[in-house]
Amino acid sequence: GAGVSQSPSNKVTEKGKDVELRCDPISGHTALYWYRQSLGQGLEFLIYFQGNSAPDKSGLPSDRFSAERTGGSVSTLTIQRTQQEDSAVYLCASSFQSGGGGEQFFGPGTRLTVL
C-alpha cells in the first residue's frame, strides 16, 4: 500500500544491546515524526524532521536515542544500550505539510521489548 510502513513489527532484545527501527514515510511527505507509546500511556513525541532543516530533537529522552533521515525519505531510530524502560511501541508518522493542519499519517508501529 501507500501508507507509512515500519520495520520490524516486533523486536525483542536484551538489555544493553543496540536496536535500529526503520520508518518508510508516504512518498512526497516532507515531515516525519517519531513517537513512543508506553503501555496505557499517551503518545510521547521524540523527534521531528522537516525537509532539509535541522531536526527537532527536543523529545528524545536521553543521548542513547538518535535518529536520522537519509535523502529526505527513510528514517532510522537508533536506541543504544537499551534499558527495560525503553520497552514500548515506537510509532512513526509523516505529513505533507508541517505547519497548521497537516494531518499526520501513522505507521503500524514497532513493538520493542527489552528483556
Partner 1 sequence: KNQVEQSPQSLIILEGKNCTLQCNYTVSPFSNLRWYKQDTGRGPVSLTIMTFSENTKSNGRYTATLDADTKQSSLHITASQLSDSASYICVGRIKAAGNKLTFGGGTRVLVKP
Cα three-residue angle 28-88-108, rounded to 5 degrees: 35
Question: How many Cα atoms occupy the beta-carbon half-sphere of 104 within 13 Å?
Answer: 19
Shortest Cβ 88–partner 1 spacing (Å): 14
| 96 forms part of the interface with partner 1 (CB under 8 A) | no
| 99 forms part of the interface with partner 1 (CB under 8 A) | yes
Residue position matching grid coordinates 537508533: 78
- Read off the amino acid at residue 65: F
CA separation, residue 69 to residues 12, 73, 107 (Å): 24, 6, 16
State which residue, 14 or 58, has the beta carbon closest to partner 1: 58
| 41 forms part of the interface with partner 1 (CB under 8 A) | yes
Shortest Cβ 86–partner 1 spacing (Å): 19
Among 21, 60, 75, 107, binds partner 1 (CB under 8 A): 107
Number of residues that bind partner 1 (CB under 8 A): 26
